[in-house]
Chains A and B, each alone.
Chain A
Amino acid sequence: MLFSRSGDAGLDELIADRLDKSGPPGLAADLVLAAMLGDDELAATLSDTEGTGPATPASESTSTAEEPAHLYLQSIIVEGFRGIGAQAALRLQPGPGLTVVAGRNGSGKSSFAEAAELALTGENKRWSDRAAVWKEGWRNLHTAGDSKITVELAEDGQQGTIRVTRDWPAGAALDGVASYVQVPGAPRKPLDTTGWSAPLELFRPFLSYSELGALVSGKPTEMYDAMQAILGLDQLVSAERRLTDARKRLDDPSRQAAKALPALRAQLASHSDERAREAEAALARKPWDIETIEALAIDADASGDPHVGRLAQLAAITLPPPGTATLAIDDLLAARHRVAALTGTRSSDARQLAGLLSTAVAHQASHPGEPCPVCGGLALDEAWAEQALAEIKRLSELARDADDAQAQLDAATRAVRNLIGGEPAVLSADLGTALDASAAREAWRGWADLTSAGSGDPLLDAAGAQFTAVTAAITQLQKQAAAVLDQRRQAWRPVAAALAGWAEMARSSLRADATLTEVKKAITWLHAAGQDIRDARMAPFAALSAEIWSMLRQESNVDLGPVRIVGSGPRRHVTLDVTVDDVAGAALGVMSQGELHALGLALFLPRATTPESPFRFVVVDDPVQSMDPAKVEGLARLLARVGQDRQVIVFTHDDRLPEAIRRLQLPATIWEVSRREHSVVELTKNDDPVRRYLDDARAMARTDELSEGIRSVVVAGYCRNALEAACHEAIRARRVRAGRPLADVERELTQAQKLRQVVGLVLFDDMEHGGQVADRLRERYGQSAVNAFIAAKDGTHGAFQGQLPRLVEETARLAGALRS
């Protein structure tokens, strides 16, 4: 069978298989799979840097295991929508077969096609993309009340009717309501809960005229998108888009960081101090020295600037608090008083005397009672020894006291001297122009002079004042230094903020870089795999397309080779290998509109008739436009062939397709749509024009609503049309059998205007034999045939007076004879 082929696996499974066999390692493979599954999955995989394992394909991917239910259209009932006012119904035989609905432009036929598509795919984005004119004008002008679409479907092998309804109360917007579906024996539920939307999107059983045009004559990207949708490759496109978006997002920080650099550099350049130079140097390094930038941003004083170090040293100078100084000076004063109180007491004399006496006492102990060896006078007896010992004790204490007072004085003097240490080197260093340390230095040196001079009264008198002077000078200097530092920090703060912000960007760009590499790998891989899959997907379609094209091309000198969809992003397009007169590489531009439409159909049908589709119908709106007669014939054959195992519903704006179907005797049901004033739309079966005219003549002959005179006119008109149609059929069949081109036959038929000429063509093969028509008719078919001929010829001019039912039957006989 032409329109069946092996089922294709879900795209994500296909990708998963390929990843197993030849995918990139690690994260990139996970990214591809996640991108196939959706935005959330990809986001999760991207944020999941630990990589907890690859995502698995969702189970709801296209199942190939079981044959889906087969759905056929049973009727399309429309009210108050587009060109249809009062309720009108298109009844269809639910099952394979070709139905053609013919109606002049504006008859409301396309409204049926659009209504069915809208009811079933109303949630589809394509509707919201429609022009505002369409969206505002969708309600029929001649209905004040509700608008309603009902699509009835039959499921093969199941009883009952599935009803899909979309019902707009007065005033509701086109997209303001949802479609509901009712399956027999089940409650009504929203259509989007049925799971139909995915197959409807994938297999797209609807092809509108505008899409047919866009398929081949639109922008290359539009054609690509339309093809993608037809081939069901949307998932692949979405995955590619997701990855590209991710790459853009990941690339963003690094691009932002690079983009922010010039402004940052300018800000640094306008900043005079050393930190700015350091930051500049860090930014000039490759890769950027982000640590230094961060250090400069976080700690405003972090810098190699020597001034800043000295300012810090200044701040570190500590002096004892004034209370400590006062105490030290008081101690010194007390020590001085004590020493003064012991003035005259020579502690060494006392100690010497005590020594002498000690020696004398020792001598006395060995020479008791002997006279003093020093003076030789007084005898040194016990009483003397006792006295001498007491004297030794007194003298020793006296000496110790004097020593102690001296030591106390020395300590107090030292303590005062040590109140202020050596002069800090920083006071003599270069502190920049903002600070003057000379006063502090002078005060400090004054102190040093004072304290080194000795321990006399001058120290005691001046120490307090000098200490205060040093403290004041240093405090002053430190205040100034703090102010300088603060000012410096203030000036740096905006730069620091800018550096911090930039460092953040640079950091996240570093973090993103690793992932970015993986995403890029994933993109490259998916592009290559995607092209393979596209080609593979395309192959069976391309073969079918070529086959369909060969049916439709007829006399076209255009050959269709492999169709490929290539490229991505703004460069995506479809390449059709079109050969004109055996010259390859021809552009689509050389093809006629009719050929382009035929090509569009050749691209559409294979998808819509995929075996996996539960929708066993295809609805095609006006494929005939701008096709020449030969191509219409090919189209008729093609549609009939598709109709062998699919329900094919074709809307067409003229009678060329029905005519071709009738002429080729293809099985089909043909409806004619007409629209009265006030949008009253009526459908009439129109399989065979001769029979239709005769049926109409019979019906009008019975219409009591009209007067006899009026009826005569219209019945005669139908009779004439019936004879004309019978003759056209006979002539066309004869000419085509003889191998004459259809276009020539049509020209000939157009020239034969009068009934006499048309019948003449049948009887004599010459329209100029009109005068002999009546005689020949009588000869061949008898007088009643002549009566019918004359009544039909003149009746429309109001001449017929006879029995109308009889006229119709005579005409029927004559028509049958002429066409046989």
Chain B
Amino acid sequence: MTSDELLGEADRLLTTVVPGSRGRWPRCCAWLIRLALEQSLDEYWARVLPDAAECSMRAQLLLLPRYADAHTAEDATEAWLGLARVTHHHAYDLAPTAAELRRWHELVRSITAELRASDGQPASPESELAGA
């Protein structure tokens, strides 16, 4: 499944009442958006730095500013931290809200577009330093 398909389904769950998803759509949405982010990064690394796909997500997020632009990397980090929090069970947390999901959906959609447009050229030495 491509990240576009995943984001499309997430949007459907978010905006329409899909039969059977009553009360479940928030978590379902979160998993789909999270997977979409993973897919986008996988596609990107396959094109730019195949070895990176094997790294942990944390490592991937640390690598990202060196290859894509800093802004995209920040968005990816925000989306990932938010999604990771809600996709794991936490004793005191309830399911994410529609507004949170909408925000992450927007972030992942724009990250996906940015990464596709990126040529993957290592960034200038300054940002390399900043990224390190």
Verify that A and B bind, or say they do not: yes
CA distance A693 to B99 in the complex (A): 22
Closest Cβ of chain A to B27, distance in Å, is 6
Residue of B nearest to A726 (CB): B89
Q: Is A710's CB under 8 angstroms from B89's CB? A: no
Contact of B35 among A655, A656, A796 (CB under 8 A): A796
Residue of B nearest to A109 (CB): B94
Bitwise interface map of B from 64 to 106 toward A, beta carbon under 8 Å scored 1, else 0: 0000000000000000000010011111111111110010000
B23 at interface (Cβ–Cβ under 8 A)? yes
CA distance A104 to B94 in the complex (A): 6
Closest Cβ of chain B to A621, distance in Å, is 16
Residue of B nearest to A746 (CB): B91
Residue of A nearest to B93 (CB): A655
CA distance A656 to B91 in the complex (A): 7
A162 at interface (Cβ–Cβ under 8 A)? no
Residue of B nearest to A711 (CB): B28
Q: Is B28's CB under 8 angstroms from A709's CB? A: no
Within 8 A of B (CB), among A648-689: 653-656, 659, 672, 674-678, 680, 682-684, 689
A→B interface (CB under 8 Å):
102-104, 106-107, 653-656, 659, 672, 674-678, 680, 682-684, 689, 693, 696, 699-700, 702-703, 705-707, 709-710, 713-714, 716-718, 720-722, 724-725, 728, 732, 746, 749-750, 753, 796-798
Q: Is B9's CB under 8 angstroms from A706's CB? A: yes
Query: Given contacts A677-B14, A683-B23, A714-B27, is CB(A659)–CB(B91) below 8 Å?
Result: yes
Residue of A nearest to B10 (CB): A710
Closest Cβ of chain A to B45, distance in Å, is 14
Residue of B nearest to A724 (CB): B89
Residue of A nearest to B89 (CB): A724
CA distance A274 to B35 in the complex (A): 106
Contact of A106 among B19, B34, B97, B102 (CB under 8 A): B97
Closest Cβ of chain A to B115, distance in Å, is 18
B130 at interface (Cβ–Cβ under 8 A)? no
Contact of B9 among A710, A724, A753 (CB under 8 A): A710
Across the A-B interface, how many residue pairs have beta carbons closer than 8 Å? 130
Q: Is A710's CB under 8 angstroms from B6's CB? A: yes
Most buried by B among A107, A680, A714, A724: A714
Chain A contacts for B14, CB-based, 8 A:
676-677
Q: List 18 A-B contacts (CB under 8 A).
A: A107-B97, A655-B93, A659-B91, A674-B97, A684-B23, A696-B23, A703-B18, A703-B20, A706-B9, A706-B18, A713-B31, A720-B88, A721-B88, A721-B89, A746-B92, A749-B91, A796-B35, A798-B38
Bitwise interface map of B from 21 to 36 toward A, beta carbon under 8 Å scored 1, else 0: 1111111101110110
Q: Is A714's CB under 8 angstroms from B38's CB? A: no
Q: Is B1's CB under 8 angstroms from A702's CB? A: no
Chain B contacts for A654, CB-based, 8 A:
92-94
CA distance A423 to B31 in the complex (A): 129
Contact of B27 among A102, A680, A683, A717 (CB under 8 A): A717
Chain A contacts for B89, CB-based, 8 A:
689, 693, 720-722, 724-725, 728
CA distance A94 to B58 in the complex (A): 50
Query: Given contacts A696-B24, A798-B39, is CB(A703)–CB(B93) below 8 Å?
Result: no
Closest Cβ of chain A to B56, distance in Å, is 10
Q: Is A714's CB under 8 angstroms from B98's CB? A: no
Query: Given contacts A655-B92, A710-B6, A728-B91, is CB(A682)–CB(B39) below 8 Å?
Result: no
Chain A contacts for B1, CB-based, 8 A:
707, 709-710, 713, 798
Most buried by B among A106, A674, A696: A674
Residue of A nearest to B15 (CB): A677
Chain A contacts for B113, CB-based, 8 A:
none
Query: Given contacts A798-B35, A798-B39, is CB(A675)–CB(B94) below 8 Å?
Result: no
Closest Cβ of chain A to B96, distance in Å, is 8
CA distance A746 to B92 in the complex (A): 10
Residue of A nearest to B1 (CB): A709
Q: Is A699's CB under 8 angstroms from B24's CB? A: yes
CA distance A406 to B30 in the complex (A): 149
Residue of B nearest to A722 (CB): B89
Q: Is A796's CB under 8 angstroms from B87's CB? A: yes
Chain B contacts for A718, CB-based, 8 A:
27
Q: Is B15's CB under 8 angstroms from A710's CB? A: no
Closest Cβ of chain A to B44, distance in Å, is 16
9 A-B pairs besides A696-B23, A709-B5, A749-B90 with CB distance below 8 A are: A676-B98, A713-B32, A713-B35, A714-B24, A721-B88, A732-B91, A796-B87, A797-B35, A797-B38
Closest Cβ of chain A to B98, distance in Å, is 5
Contact of A672 among B18, B88, B94, B102 (CB under 8 A): B94
Residue of B nearest to A676 (CB): B98
CA distance A319 to B9 in the complex (A): 125
CA distance A532 to B35 in the complex (A): 68
CA distance A678 to B15 in the complex (A): 8
Residue of B nearest to A728 (CB): B91
Chain A contacts for B19, CB-based, 8 A:
703, 705
CA distance A494 to B87 in the complex (A): 89
Residue of B nearest to A103 (CB): B94
CA distance A678 to B17 in the complex (A): 11
Chain B contacts for A707, CB-based, 8 A:
1, 9
Contact of A674 among B34, B92, B95 (CB under 8 A): B95
Q: Is A796's CB under 8 angstroms from B31's CB? A: yes
Residue of B nearest to A725 (CB): B89
Which 6 pairs show the lowest CB-CB distances between chains A and B? A684-B23, A703-B20, A724-B89, A717-B31, A714-B28, A721-B89
Most buried by B among A678, A700, A710: A710
Chain B contacts for A709, CB-based, 8 A:
1, 5
Q: Is B92's CB under 8 angstroms from A659's CB? A: yes
Chain A contacts for B93, CB-based, 8 A:
654-655
Residue of A nearest to B38 (CB): A797
Q: Is A702's CB under 8 angstroms from B92's CB? A: no
Q: Is B98's CB under 8 angstroms from A677's CB? A: yes
Contact of A702 among B20, B84, B98 (CB under 8 A): B20
CA distance A118 to B105 in the complex (A): 37
Residue of A nearest to B13 (CB): A706
Q: Is A675's CB under 8 angstroms from B97's CB? A: yes
Closest Cβ of chain A to B28, distance in Å, is 4
Chain A contacts for B18, CB-based, 8 A:
703, 705-706
CA distance A730 to B31 in the complex (A): 25
Chain A contacts for B26, CB-based, 8 A:
674
Contact of B92 among A107, A656, A713, A724 (CB under 8 A): A656
Q: Is A104's CB under 8 angstroms from B97's CB? A: yes
Closest Cβ of chain A to B84, distance in Å, is 7
Chain B contacts for A102, CB-based, 8 A:
94
Q: Is B23's CB under 8 angstroms from A700's CB? A: no
CA distance A111 to B15 in the complex (A): 22
Closest Cβ of chain B to A84, distance in Å, is 14
Query: Given contacts A796-B87, A797-B35, is CB(A106)–CB(B23) below 8 Å?
Result: no
Q: Is B20's CB under 8 angstroms from A796's CB? A: no
Residue of A nearest to B102 (CB): A677
Q: Is B102's CB under 8 angstroms from A700's CB? A: no
Chain B contacts for A103, CB-based, 8 A:
94
Q: Is B98's CB under 8 angstroms from A717's CB? A: no
CA distance A753 to B22 in the complex (A): 28
